Amino acid sequence: MATATKTVVEVCREAKDASHLLARASRDEKDAWLRDLADRIEAGVEPLLEANRADVEAGREQGLNEALLDRLTLTEARIAEMAKGVREIADLDDPVGEVVEGWTLENGLEVEKKRVPIGVVAVIYEARPNVTVDAAALCLKSGNAAVLRGSSSAESSNGFLSGLIGLALAAAELPAASVSLLSGGGHEQLEELATQEGLVDLIIPRGGEGLKEALKKVAKVPVMYAAAGNCHVYVHQDADLEMAERVAYNAKVQRPGVCNAAETLLVHRDVAADLLPGLLAQLSAAGVELVGDQRAREEAGSAPVGEATAADWDTEYHGLKMAVGVVDSLGDAIQHVNRHGTGHSDAILTSSREVGDEFTDAVDSAAVYVNASTRFTDGYEFGMGAEIGNSTQKLHARGPIGLRELTTTKYVVHGSGQIRE
């Protein structure tokens, strides 16, 4: 595995060379690497936890908030999930070479549209050390070389994992530059990476709005943003309120620091009095700070609900805070979600298939749920083994970024001497 002792240009150039070899690597070669990597992760639990504890302790000293510390922290269960995800990626079909469609022209030319790797994919991410493994596994399985730039907060964890990746690459006789880790650089390194035209084919940033805005100012390489999640749960007037209570609580509390956690609860006025007192009391007891509009505060019962500001409806809290609003209609709920959401994940609770269809058709988000928690927007949960992030843009991929999202297409045309008149 390539190291950061080289310049950014050198790392990217070597990754480009490796990408040409990976594009022709067989599924057996790639899957053998993945399974070996999973074995090495499971065998290295204790030293990995030790490296991670050093990162977490340093993060606390630096004043990282609880949401960031949660994303930074590895446990035995999370490491086991990491290894399991790598094996699941190995079990998935190889997208490279898949014929998307094909046809024969009147002149006898046989046209095939095939999936091919993108080339060199640079992934920039904050805090989460599991992304080091997820990104490496997905990129290599899809025939891409990966240039990874993790944050300094996870330097020890990422360094240990990159060592395992390198050992597995050597054992599989795949190029060392198939996966490269950049670390220790500041904003200048980020800017240099984002301007490697001809060497880097795609950048995927996985972080907050600050990272997104920094890249927008300098990037010359195409960027697929794994962006923020200001997610909503809307409870319609005909919803099963017991189900709504369970789903809304899960969407907020199960893991509040992640991008698919709900930040806003919207409730139809006809069920606000029946739903809100009990649900808001549960959320408050779980430590959720609640803010709301006037009607939500009036129907809150004994639960403390502060006054929501205009900014609250547009905020991804990344923690135990939630905005609550009461709406007059399905149309008002849809309008609110489309105006204030980030296009990530939004949910409706309803007993009507027609109402559910109207919500899913009208809400402009990457994932829209009927009677289920927004917490499922995740490559692992969707059966992709893992993900690099969730894209909220529309070109060329939207939603969880898995194997197929890391490919592009080319046309392969077979003839028998045809010429154009």
Note whether 142 and 168 are within 8 A (CB).
no
310 token code pair: 């205009």
Best CA proximity match to 113, nearest among 126, 101, 96, 121: 101
Phi-psi region of 302 (alpha: psi -120 to 50; beta: other; left: phi over 0): alpha
Question: Is residue 1 included in any domain, yes or no?
Answer: no
- Indicate if 249 and 337 belong to the same structural domain: yes
Domain that holds residue 153: 8-226+388-414
Task: Give 17-66 pLDDT, tens digit per residue.
Answer: 999 999 999 999 999 999 999 999 999 999 999 999 999 999 999 999 88
Question: Is residue 408 included in any domain, yes or no?
Answer: yes
Question: Is residue 360 included in any domain, yes or no?
Answer: yes
Task: Give 191-208 pLDDT, tens digit per residue.
Answer: 999 999 999 999 999 877
DSSP-assigned letter for residue 364: -
Question: Is residue 3 included in any domain, yes or no?
Answer: no
Question: Is residue 409 included in any domain, yes or no?
Answer: yes
- Indicate if 163 and 284 belong to the same structural domain: no
- Indicate if 360 and 399 belong to the same structural domain: no
Neighbours of 33 (CB within 10 A): 27
Question: What whole-number distance in Å separates Cα of residue 87 and Cα of residue 107?
Answer: 45
- Indicate if 348 and 410 belong to the same structural domain: no
Greatest Cα pair distance in the chain: 81
123 token code pair: 């992934």
Neighbours of 359 (CB within 10 A): 24
- Indicate if 260 and 163 belong to the same structural domain: no
Q: Give me the pLDDT at residue 227, please.
A: 67
Question: Is residue 188 included in any domain, yes or no?
Answer: yes
Question: Is residue 243 included in any domain, yes or no?
Answer: yes
Number of separate domains in the chain: 2
Question: What whole-number distance in Å separates Cα of residue 76 and Cα of residue 98?
Answer: 36
Task: Give 395-419 pLDDT, tens digit per residue.
Answer: 889 999 999 999 999 999 999 999 9
Amino acid at 260: N
- Indicate if 263 and 299 belong to the same structural domain: yes
Question: What whole-number distance in Å separates Cα of residue 272 and Cα of residue 312?
Answer: 20
Best CA proximity match to 115, nearest among 413, 414, 406, 415: 406
Question: What whole-number distance in Å separates Cα of residue 161 and Cα of residue 51?
Answer: 10
172 token code pair: 């599989």
Question: Is residue 419 included in any domain, yes or no?
Answer: no
- Indicate if 272 and 369 belong to the same structural domain: yes
- Indicate if 187 and 269 belong to the same structural domain: no
The CA-atom distances, in angstroms, between 314 and each of 234, 335, 384 are 16, 13, 30
Q: Is the pLDDT of residue 240 over 90?
A: yes
The CATH number of the domain where 355 resides is what? 3.40.309.10
- Indicate if 68 and 190 belong to the same structural domain: yes
* Strands in 92-162 per DSSP E: 99-104, 110-117, 120-125, 145-149
- Indicate if 78 and 221 belong to the same structural domain: yes
Name the pTM for this structure: 0.90
- Indicate if 166 and 275 belong to the same structural domain: no
The CATH number of the domain where 139 resides is what? 3.40.605.10
Q: What is the mean pLDDT of residues 327-350?
A: 98
For residue 235, give every residue at least 6 positions away whose Cβ sits within 8 Å of its Cβ, in sequence order, or none.
241, 244, 248, 265, 266, 267, 268, 271, 275, 348, 349
For residue 289, give every residue at least 6 positions away whose Cβ sits within 8 Å of its Cβ, in sequence order, or none.
306, 320, 321, 322
- Indicate if 335 and 395 belong to the same structural domain: no
190 token code pair: 């980020």
Going by pLDDT thresholds of 50, 70 and 90, the confidence category of residue 371 is: very high
